[in-house]
Amino acid sequence: MKYLHTMVRVNDLEEALSFYCDVLGLEEVRRYDNEKGRFTLVFLAAPEDRARAEEDRAPLLELTHNWDPEELEGGRNFGHLAYEVEQIYDTCERIEAAGVTIRRPPRDGRMAFLRSPDGISIELLQRGDALPAKEPWASRENRGSW
């Protein structure tokens, strides 16, 4: 068995791509538009996983956009997406500068949580050992649910 992908439904494909690609830094690997089924699938990979994703078709994040409007609820009920980052403080600063709220700040120098525009919980983990505590993160409280 091998991990292939995680699928999340999105309401606004362009907004979702802006978040996952422009803010988080994922890259589009492939796209599939199905006119008969009225949906689009977009497969994304982290930059360090791109070559493997293109060769093995994994690991990927699949964004599923159904063309007909639907109400998406309970984005957190499946758990969360997790990505390892090189420098958690710099990553969180870049994400906040893009207007996204860090809901669980990296107080411990190791872990942070945010949410996509569709309410999907995303965990960021520091690569290797936790970084030393650093302000403003060390004293920042959680913001909403994560």
103 and 135 Cβ atoms separated by less than 8 Å: no
Residue of 30, 39, 81 lying closest to 57 (CA atoms): 30
Catalytic residue at 123? yes
Residue 55 to residue 53: CA distance in whole angstroms: 5
DSSP letter at 86?
Answer: S
75 and 88 Cβ atoms separated by less than 8 Å: no
Candidates 35, 48, 123, 141; catalytic one: 123
List residues with catalytic annotation: 123
